[in-house]
Amino acid sequence: MPTRRAAITEIRIADPQERAQALAVFVADKIIAELKLHPTTSIALSGGRTPSRFFRELSEIELPWERVTVVLIDERWVPENSDRSNARSIRENLLKNQAKNAQFFELFDPFSERPELAVFALNQRFKASVPQPFCCAVLGMGLDGHTASWFPDGDHLEDAFHPNQQSIFLPMNAATAGEPRMTLSLPPLASSRAVALLIEGRDKWQVYEASKEIGSTLPFTQIILSAGRRLTVFGD
């Protein structure tokens, strides 16, 4: 099957630590470039286990972190003391060392039983407090091709992909997701000045390759179509 000839930069580094370091430097460079032009900036980060090493490397880089807002790309609707919490991973691995003074925009609301009940206030808070566009967004990807919380069986998947979607965040429920989720929609990610994908393992690289194929319906294909030359893939 023919593939899309998107001008994607692919950086393949076998050693996980070196790969994490390279991505951390990549993100830091984007932050520095943006802060030369603007007083503040923001980055969007995915949670999960894969980026933890990258978070720790980024936390060691000296930057004017007090001028940076860290935004979660998506969140499981669980309290922060849960092992499944993306906010917990950010706090434990990134918001320390040099990055301890970064601003952190959390998604989970402990007073809302479901993400649907929190989405309006979350969108209003985001628009009032987070510099846009993101100078960099760092995504992960599952073996089903999902990124953010755009699961193939998600109940608001079409809404998330709509190019004129005005809602920054959307609730997402999917049988394959486990918990209910809150996720960024496509437009704010598509408008990021730079987008990175961090993946590990041959299986995920094969899914990434499949997402470039013409006619692909994998969710990550939406990022390829929208980010194009601004996408850099870090893999092994």
Q: What is the mean pLDDT of residues 44-72?
A: 96
Contact yes or no for 177/149 (Cβ under 8 A): yes
Backbone angles phi, psi at 191, to 5 degrees: -90, 0
Q: What is the pTM of this model?
A: 0.96
Domain spans of the chain? 9-235
pLDDT tens, residue by residue, 65-74: 999 999 999 9
State yes or no: pLDDT of 2 exceeds 70: no
Please list the alpha-helical segments (H only) found in 36-171: 52-59, 86-93, 119-129, 157-161
- Say if residues 180 and 169 touch (Cβ distance below 8 Å): no
pLDDT band at 48 (very low <50, low <70, confident <90, very high): confident
| Length of the chain as a residue count | 236
Q: May I ask the CATH class of domain 9-235?
A: alpha beta
Give, as one character, the DSSP assignment of residue 98: G
Answer yes or no: is pLDDT of 191 > 60.
yes
Q: How far apart are CA 71 and CA 200, in angstroms?
A: 23
**Are the CB atoms for 31 and 136 separated by under 8 Å?**
yes
pLDDT in tens, 150-189: 999 999 999 999 999 999 999 999 999 999 999 999 999 9
Task: State residue 6's pLDDT score.
Answer: 55
Residue 33 parent element (H or E): helix 16-35
Two structure tokens written together for 31: 């932050």
